[in-house]
Amino acid sequence: MSQQGTLVGNADVSFNFASSPDANQAVFTAIWRFFNGVMRSSSYAQLVAVNYGSGGGSTNYADENNPFGENAFQVWRLPSGSSLCPVDVYVMFQWADSSAFGSSPGDPGLLNGGTADGVGVAVAYRDDGGSPWNGTTVGSGSDTKGTPVWTEGTSKLRIFP
């Protein structure tokens, strides 16, 4: 098997939360730290947008000061050279538990076709290589989504799942 680029990973993540909201928030925060850490520093990911969530103050775990709040979301661009795809791929993560998934500031949004609790992921790209993200791109914790979240522009839009 041929290797494409440098492998990156994070093997030191473990959680011991008794409550579901803390567990969902912890998974979301671990994803943030992975993408904002090793993936970003290796140029495998570039931050497109982040919202700290309802009542959120920053990018920390629930048991730290200024944690991500409910319905926080993050959007990353995986450049074509790092994603083994001929075009840039965009990945969005969002979490919720006590609040309905897709409530403000993470609206619009669905998880498993509804307002279930958990951590959601969506992947999108456009055949022309343009950005499918239809939201703000400030990256300071207050970004917003457009409606719809992904846009095809003048190209074909691919969304997973």
Q: Where are the domains positioned within the chain?
A: 20-160
pLDDT in tens, 49-99: 999 999 999 999 998 999 999 999 999 999 997 667 889 999 999 999 989
Amino acid present at 34:
F
Identify the weakest region by mean pLDDT among 1-5, 41-45, 150-154.
Answer: 1-5
In the structure, what pLDDT confidence band is assigned to residue 1 with cuts at 50, 70 and 90?
Answer: very low
Greater confidence (161 vs 96) lies with: 96
Phi/psi of residue 150, nearest 5 degrees = -110, 145
Is-contact 117 23, C-beta < 8 A? no
Burial class (CB in 10 A: 0-12, 13-18, 19+), 31: buried
pLDDT value at residue 2: 46
Q: Record the pTM.
A: 0.89
Sign of torsion over alpha carbons 108, 54, 74, 34: negative
Using alpha carbons, list the distances in angstroms from residue 151 to 15, 69, 121, 138, 155: 36, 26, 17, 18, 9
Greater confidence (149 vs 1) lies with: 149
Chain centroid offset of residue 140 CA: 14
pLDDT value at residue 11: 54
pLDDT in tens, 109-152: 999 888 888 999 999 999 999 999 999 999 999 999 999 999 99
Is-contact 106 99, C-beta < 8 A? no
- Give the single-character DSSP code of 23: H
